Structure 1
Amino acid sequence: MSHTSSIEIWDIEKIIPYEANAKKHPKEQVKKLAQAITKFGWTQPIVVDVDGVIIAGHGRRLAALELKLTKVPVIHRADLTKAEADALRLADNRVASTDYDQALIQDELRRLADELEGSQITLLDIGFDEKELEFTMSDLGEVNDDFFVEDVGEAVEQQKKENAKAIEATDDVAAPIGDAFGFKRVSIAQSRAIREMMSTIETSTGKVGPEALILFLSDALNRK
């Protein structure tokens, strides 16, 4: 697609904000843009469609107004159809790092799905993948949640596998006996009783130490 990209200087009053612009511009962001323009000049012109409606640069326009500028650099994309200009506007919003009004994006995508029919531009060109388009263009009550289930299910299974590997890797690592029992100190009399009990358990199981205790406890629990 051929297009013109020469920079023109326009009166700021001629530039029309897009009424359904999905990108939000908090005051702090506008202030930073104004500071950047003051320090570095215009590194990016405002891009407008054939009617002078902003395609890209709503924040830069607000910054210019903040600075009380009367003239600003503009790229006039008169070569674009309305649907193509709207698609470019949404694509610019999509790649920028900022917040969005999700309801406005949803309305725009629904409209463009029909208006871009037969155009060289598709909704996938805007930067959304198929799953995002399905979610964004559907009412929440109508969204096919198969892909959510699939993604979450895969994540859960992957987490289970990672947990199992972590447990297996640490099973043979020595740990203080107090961590297992939940107490670290006993009285002298209790210590004597524990030693006598362990001696009896080792004799009955044929094992020694922790292995004898675990086997004895497992048998006792299984008999309940």
Structure 2
Amino acid sequence: MNSRVALVTGAGSGIGAGTASALAALGHRVALLDRSDAVHAVADEIRSSGGTALSVLADISDPDTVTAAVDQVVAELGAVEILVNNAGFARDNHVLDMPLSDWDDVVNTHLRGAFLLLKATAPAMRSSGWGRIVNISSISALVDSDRANYVAAKAGIEGFTRATALDLAPHGITVNAIGPGVIVTEMTKVSAARRNRTLDEHVEVMRQSIPRGRVGTPHDIARAVLFFAAEDADYVTGQVIYISGGPHG
């Protein structure tokens, strides 16, 4: 695999941090974007392991911030060749009780953010004739209760993936999506609290519903990102793969 410049959003923890570390371990130069200062510690850990990492604070729902962040990445690492749109969060509520601000914040971060990052990075990919874009969706895109904003955003990500895959395929750019199932991250703690469970109780309840018999880890998702980002994965585009420990329809 050639060394490429990869940009991962939401890289301060969980799936984003695991993905950034996995890409760096293969020799890619990795830019980590996040709204949290925790992203700096993740980048430090990658560098201490011998990798190349740049951490950038950014609100990916804001066009000016995205432009500035990508400009910084290009100046310090080079043009982005692998983009992983992972940033997101949940603000769950019954749809009739959901504030407009919670709808806007979730949709803008997941869906608007993915659009802005693609717009900021894909032109350089098109010029070079090579690019990999991986969008992180969720098994919740199929259906889930009390999180209409999150479901709509993730379903939108999957439609966005298929549409942009068609637009960009002639230019050597693949666009795919991954839909994680139960992956234990900071968001899992929020889900547990919403159901008045401890984290361990919540994980055990979720585990019992998974055919594979275990919950997932960021490593499980990172491995799929590496597949989609591979040099020889150029015939795979517009696909959504659910990594959830069992089949879902």
TM-score by length of 1: 0.24
Structure showing greater radius of gyration is 1
Q: Which has more strand, going by share of residues?
A: 2
Q: Which has more helix, going by share of residues?
A: 1
